[in-house]
């Protein structure tokens, strides 16, 4: 909805632009409309910005003067994103618990069975390709493919991301673009 306004603003008012694309986009758009003295709609704000050269200057001034309110909007957007991630995690855990406690034996055993098979395939893949590499028949296992095979096992064990282990285990490779 406010994406066209965000594109038009570009780098002129980066804080305002970043907020227009997030969960606080509507509130930010209302604040812009208020400052520009136009109706609270993306079309009217964009029209004002395109037709009035002083409007962009006013937008930059608003960003400067309303920094506290804009930071509050950023904070609200971050909280909304965090709450959404927390809700997703809670839903995932509830789904897992209901499967683990299901009366149907098939449902109860499906996740552990998938995790076991993924481990077997992952282990076999790594062992086979590393053994072939010993006899100069290839470069060995691709750790990306091995990770794909092992992902269900790791998920079953409760791992969601490996980034939390990056600081403890430097041998995992690059983290945030550095070695």
Residue 168 inside a domain? The answer is: yes
Domain end position, chosen among 75, 91, 116: 75
Shared-domain flag, residues 132 and 64 = no
Residue 160 inside a domain? The answer is: yes
Residue 162 inside a domain? The answer is: yes
Residue 90 inside a domain? The answer is: no
Per the structure, the count of domains in the chain is 2
Shared-domain flag, residues 108 and 158 = yes
Which pLDDT belongs to residue 179? 44
Contact 26, 67 (CB under 8 A): no
Q: What range defines the domain where residue 174 resides?
A: 104-179
Span 128-142, average pLDDT: 94
Which pLDDT belongs to residue 162? 56
DSSP assignment string, 6-69 = HHHHTTSSHHHHHHHTSTTHHHHHHHHHHHHTS-SSHHHHHHHHHH-HHHHHHHHHHHHHTHHH
Averaging pLDDT over each range in 76-85, 96-105, 137-146, which range is the top one?
A: 137-146
The phi, psi pair for 169, rounded to 5°, reads -125, 85
Residue 81 inside a domain? The answer is: no
Shared-domain flag, residues 15 and 62 = yes
Shared-domain flag, residues 109 and 179 = yes
């Amino acid at each position: 909805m406010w994406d066209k306004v965000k594109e038009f603003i570009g780098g002129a008012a980066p804080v305002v632009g970043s907020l227009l694309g997030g969960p606080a986009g509507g509130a930010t758009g209302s604040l812009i409309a208020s400052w520009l003295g136009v109706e609270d709609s993306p079309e009217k704000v964009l029209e004002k910005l395109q037709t009035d050269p002083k409007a962009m200057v006013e937008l930059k001034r608003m960003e400067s003067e309303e920094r506290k309110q804009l930071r509050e909007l950023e904070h609200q957007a971050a909280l909304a994103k965090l709450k959404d991630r927390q809700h997703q995690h809670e839903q995932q855990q509830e789904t897992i618990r209901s499967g683990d406690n299901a009366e149907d034996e098939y449902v109860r055993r499906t996740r552990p069975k998938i995790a076991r098979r993924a481990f077997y395939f992952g282990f076999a893949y790594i062992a086979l390709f590393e053994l072939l590499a010993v006899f100069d028949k290839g470069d060995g296992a691709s750790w990306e493919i091995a990770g794909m095979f092992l992902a269900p096992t790791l998920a079953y064990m409760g791992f969601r991301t490996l980034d939390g282990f990056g600081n403890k285990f430097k041998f995992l490779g690059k983290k945030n673009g550095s070695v």
